[in-house]
Amino acid sequence: MDKETLKLFKNALAILGLLIFVFVYLLFTKLIPTVQAIGQTAAEYKTQSSILAEKERLLDTKKQAVMKATDTNLTGSKEMYKPLESGLDAEGVVAAQFDDILKLLKANSIKTRSIKYNYNPMDDPFVKSAADKLSACTLDMQMVATYKNFEGFIKDLYKHEHFLDISKIEIIPYEKNKTMLLINFKLTLYALKV
């Protein structure tokens, strides 16, 4: 081998060594971090997929709860009140039911001292989950009645044909006449929006 061929051979080896060095350098600086990032992204994808599946399951559960809440047969025995007219506000929707409650109070000779109204209370679970499909009115009443009259009122409420919720009954005997009761009573009326 002559010197010229040896020099070309050395140059070729140097270029080949340089190419191998560049390839190894790029492998460690670019390719391996990219492969690691792909691995991390795949692991994160699996994690996020399982979180998504859990959230979808929770969403389905919530949707079923909303469907159950807006079902016209909520308790299996009583239907939600449905007004005859459409487009009424919350006050108009529950007005007929409120009139029924007033008739029950009068029929049982119960005197009302005060009634506070709260239309579509946001702490009500039905209003929270289905405010676009139903209206509610919470009546916070203070009443005066005898034991017998109040018993008749409660029985009549139990027989009431539409769904309602009694959330508070507080009974205090009147000090001057123990046969009379001072009653704090909280009742929520519900009606479907038409």
User: What is the enclosing helix (H) or strand (E) of 133?
Assistant: none
Give the residue with greater pLDDT, 97 vs 55.
55
The answer for 188, left when phi > 0, alpha when psi is -120 to 50, beta otherwise, is beta
**Closest among 72, 186, 189, 87 to 135, alpha carbons compared:** 189
Does the global pTM surpass 0.75? no
Q: Looking at the predicted structure, is the pLDDT value of residue 119 above 60? A: yes
pLDDT tens by residue, 121-152: 888 887 887 777 788 889 999 999 999 999 99
